[in-house]
């Protein structure tokens, strides 16, 4: 049954994560997805009708993922558990964010290097609080993208749904940029990814609110989320900011240019460091545990009914 497979996969991922001994010897499925996205982009993102070609690429990736997911699922629950565990990213997310906290206690140079592994913004001139904010923002967004959303789509549509989500999310991360090269071609990937994350992002925010008992801040969270540059990332980020009582987002640098983005939880503490990052790590585990509990509850209900 799907809840049993998902619960087993979550436990497997939490225990072992992404072992270096394995993925140093073979290509990770997420990397293979990226190879497919890149192959299509190099062949289709040329000449005219680029937006239509981008739509075609999304259709090809979606159908391919659904078909492959159905094929793999036919091999039984053991294969499903292994595939699901590999494509969940909770343990690796926690590890990367904790590395930033550990580095902040060593030196700012180490912290900048560690946070550069999980954010796309410029990190070379970051202050300590900026490093901490970046880590917490990445933790919040990736909690939704890498844990809650994959689990949600596995529950909804099994392994085909999980593979579909992961390949579209990968495509968005590679071609969903509003620059000259990808503005037209990446439009379909970005919009489909927005759609697939619509419910999981809000669900992630809700789970954080439940665990931190921040119901009184509900209106503020919604307002911050609606001001966010992303239609989805603002929900877990705004909830996490209230849970930790810190200010997130604000101005940051991309490719040498400062972007003055809106603050999340403006007026809260900005002078933060390793302690707040570790509290975010703790919240990641709490959300994971609550998700696991909900999945097990679904399994129990199914067995009773």
In degrees and rounded to multiples of 5, residue 269 shows phi and psi of -65, 130
- Nearest one of 131, 127, 53, 55 to 99, comparing CA atoms: 131
274/119 Cα distance (integer angstroms): 17
The three-class DSSP label of residue 253 is strand
Count of structural domains, the chain: 1
Round to whole Å and give the CA distance between 247 and 29.
36
For the record, the structure tokens of 2 come out as: 């799907």
- The list of the chain residues with pLDDT below 50 reads none
Q: What is the pLDDT of residue 23?
A: 81
Under a CB-based contact definition with an 8 Å cutoff, are residues 72 and 166 in contact? Answer: no
CA–CA separation, 85 vs 243, rounded Å?
A: 28
Question: What pLDDT shows up at residue 245?
Answer: 96
Segment 237-252, tens digit of pLDDT: 999 999 999 999 888 8
Over residues 222-235, the pLDDT tens digits come to 999 999 889 999 99
Distance set, CA 209 to CA 94, 154, 231, 236, 269 (Å) = 19, 23, 19, 9, 19
Q: 68 is in which domain, residue-wise?
A: 2-304
- Residue 300 is predicted with a pLDDT of 93
DSSP string, 252-298: EEETTEEE-PPEESTTSB----HHHHHHHHHHHHHHHHHHHHHHHHH
Query: CA–CA separation, 235 vs 223, rounded Å?
Result: 10
Measured in whole angstroms, the distance separating CA 60 from the mean position of its chain's CA atoms is 23
């Amino acid at each position: 049954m799907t809840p049993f497979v998902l619960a087993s996969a979550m436990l497997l991922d939490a225990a072992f994560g992404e072992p270096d001994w394995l993925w140093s010897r073979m290509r990770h499925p997420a990397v293979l997805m990226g190879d497919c996205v890149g192959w299509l982009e190099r062949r289709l993102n040329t000449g005219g009708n680029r937006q239509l070609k981008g739509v075609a690429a999304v259709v090809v990736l979606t159908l391919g993922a659904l078909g492959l997911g159905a094929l793999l699922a036919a091999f039984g629950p053991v294969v499903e558990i292994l595939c699901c565990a590999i494509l969940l990213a909770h343990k690796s997310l926690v590890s990367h964010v904790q590395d930033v906290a550990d580095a902040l206690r060593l030196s700012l140079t180490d912290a900048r290097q560690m946070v550069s592994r999980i954010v796309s913004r410029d990190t070379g001139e970051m202050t300590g609080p900026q490093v901490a904010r970046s880590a917490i923002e990445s933790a919040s967004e990736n909690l939704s993208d890498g844990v809650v959303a994959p689990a949600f789509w596995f529950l909804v549509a099994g392994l085909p749904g999980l593979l579909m989500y992961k390949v579209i999310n990968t495509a968005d991360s590679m071609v969903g940029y509003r620059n000259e090269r990808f503005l037209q071609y990446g439009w379909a990937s970005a919009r489909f990814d927005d759609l697939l994350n619509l419910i999981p992002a809000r669900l992630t925010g809700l789970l954080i609110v439940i665990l931190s008992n921040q119901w009184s801040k509900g209106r503020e969270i919604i307002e911050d989320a609606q001001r966010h540059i992303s239609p989805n990332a603002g929900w877990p980020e705004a909830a996490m900011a209230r849970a930790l009582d810190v200010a997130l987002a604000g101005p940051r640098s991309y490719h040498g240019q400062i972007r003055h983005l809106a603050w999340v939880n403006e007026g809260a503490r900005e002078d933060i460091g390793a302690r707040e990052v570790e509290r975010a790590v703790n919240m990641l585990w709490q959300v994971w545990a609550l998700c696991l509990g909900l999945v097990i509850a679904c399994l129990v209900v199914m067995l009773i009914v």
